Amino acid sequence: MKKITFILAASIFFACNPKEESTKTTLGLSSQEKVDSTNIKQLYNSALTDGQSYEWLRDLTSNIGGRLSGSPEAQQAVEWGEALMKEVGLDSVWLQPVMVPHWVRGEKEVANYTINGQKKNVPIAALGFSVATPKNGVTAEVIEVKSLEEAEKLGDQMKGKIVFFNRPFDNSLINTFQAYGGCVDQRVGGAAVCGKYGAKGVIVRSMTNGVDDYPHTGTMSYGDLPEEQYIPTAAISSRAANILSEDLKNNPTLQFYFKQSCETLPDAPSFNVVGEIRGSETPENIMVVGGHLDSWDLADGAHDDGTGIVQSLEVAYLFKKNNIKPKNTLRVVFFMNEENGTRGAKKYAELAKLNSENHIGGIESDAGGHTPRGFSIDANSSNTALLQSWKKLLSPYGLHDIDKGGSGADISPLKGETVTLVGYRPDSQRYFDYHHTTIDTFDKVNKRELELGSASMASLLYLMDKYLYSNTIVKP
């Protein structure tokens, strides 16, 4: 069997790193660390061979779909979440009532312009909280700008015009969230700046790294503007933005038309969904794990933030399945209304304060369900150092980036000197392909990547539960 042996050798030569994974996970560890390493390995084994999150996500995205705050689907998602937490067998499950903004998109938006006798339809989507256009839409000349500052300088020149914000992502940034952070002010603040000077509308290049045909919606704010200065604003696909920009060079006076019928209704009742495994030793100390249950309306909110929801619950599932009884209370929270208001986050923090709850830490997953990269830590230096000391336990699972940074919009209101808040950080490369568009759907989620995320979060919480509180209380 010489030939077989040769071919096998070639295949396996390539396939296998000679350093076995089992060796890699325990090399150079103390005996205590070996115990932790074994337990962490077991959490990963469970997630990868018996994880439930993928089927939960299929159910949420396929049978409920988009679930914007205040919508019937958001209410269905609340009921779904409550039932699922009970099914997983959490010690207690309850709903926290919260009033949420209730913005509705209305009819599908329309936009177009004519150049050289050719009518071009433009993919747009109203931004969350935007007002409608007049019933027959808005038509005006377009002024292209690259920043809020540039718009502000235009002042009265924008009166009667449509202002077009077209600063693209800086694709040279490795972390795509940095590129997002460098552009999103246009989407959030564009209409407030331009409404002040009497612009007729604002269109904003979609927040994405690529050139595609999807308008990426998202929240905006009119700030302190009086209501009569509110102007309609929409996202335009990145490809359409490129084409419009070219067309404006050839015809600076082209007439852009758009129409949208969105509106903000009175606040609606909704809920955070909360469940917990009661701590076995110090149940008064609480660790939170969560994501947000609401999503934008355009698609199914698979990566944003269906993955965070199912991963958070899977953490509790993995603890139970592996008979890990946390010393502190492990609380799973499905936050409502992250996308347009973070009312759920504020309500949760408000009630925590009201009830004098002692939160010692938390993890939020709201950066997509892609392959794990690490965690971003918002904590005092002592606790930050503690978490970073676990790198050798976590790096075999691809968790190398354990850096100081923000946690997430839903848990950050819990911030305090002795509270250790963590943002789960999966690979960011694909996130803005789907973000806030019609293609944020279940098929974009890979089962193993999702499960590795659950296991990563569970592993960090296992360590936080074991070591954090004692570290926290000795801190001056």
Q: Is 175 in the site for a second copy (CB under 8 A)?
A: yes
Give the residue among 329, 381, 318, 394 at the shortest CA–CA distance from 355: 329
Half-sphere exposure in the Cβ direction for 259 (13 Å, CA): 10
- CB of 55 or CB of 281, closer to a second copy: 55
Contact between 194 and 158 (Cβ < 8 Å): yes
Task: Give CA separation, 88 vs 29, 136, 295, 324, 334, in Å.
Answer: 34, 51, 23, 15, 14
- CB of 8 or CB of 35, closer to a second copy: 8
- CB of 177 or CB of 256, closer to a second copy: 177
Q: Is 476 in the site for a second copy (CB under 8 A)?
A: no
Q: Which stretch binds a second copy (CB under 8 A): 1-9, 91-99, 283-291, 292-300?
A: 1-9
Q: Is 222 in the site for a second copy (CB under 8 A)?
A: yes
Q: Is 48 in the site for a second copy (CB under 8 A)?
A: yes
Q: Which of 109, 294, 427, 440 binds a second copy (CB under 8 A)?
A: 427
* Site map (CB under 8 A) of a second copy, residues 3-42, x = contact: xxx-xx-xxxxxxxxxx-x---------------------
CA–CA–CA angle 302, 306, 307 (5° rounding): 95
Q: Is 447 in the site for a second copy (CB under 8 A)?
A: yes
Positions of E strands within 380-470: 401-404, 420-426
- Least CB distance to a second copy at residue 259 (A): 25
Q: Is 83 in the site for a second copy (CB under 8 A)?
A: no
Contact between 468 and 420 (Cβ < 8 Å): yes
Is residue 42 classed as helix, strand or coil in its secondary structure?
helix
According to CB under 8 A, which residues from 383 to 412 bind a second copy?
395-398, 400-401, 403-406, 408-409, 412
Q: Which stretch binds a second copy (CB under 8 A): 26-34, 74-82, 240-248, 441-449?
A: 441-449
- CB of 185 or CB of 263, closer to a second copy: 185
338 has catalytic annotation:
yes
| CA–CA distance, 474 with 463 (Å, rounded to integer) | 17
Query: Given the structure tokens 């269109």, which residue do they identify?
Result: 203
Give the active site residue among 144, 338, 339, 364: 338
Task: Give CA separation, 358 vs 329, 362, 463, in Å.
Answer: 10, 12, 18
Q: Which residues are catalytic?
A: 338
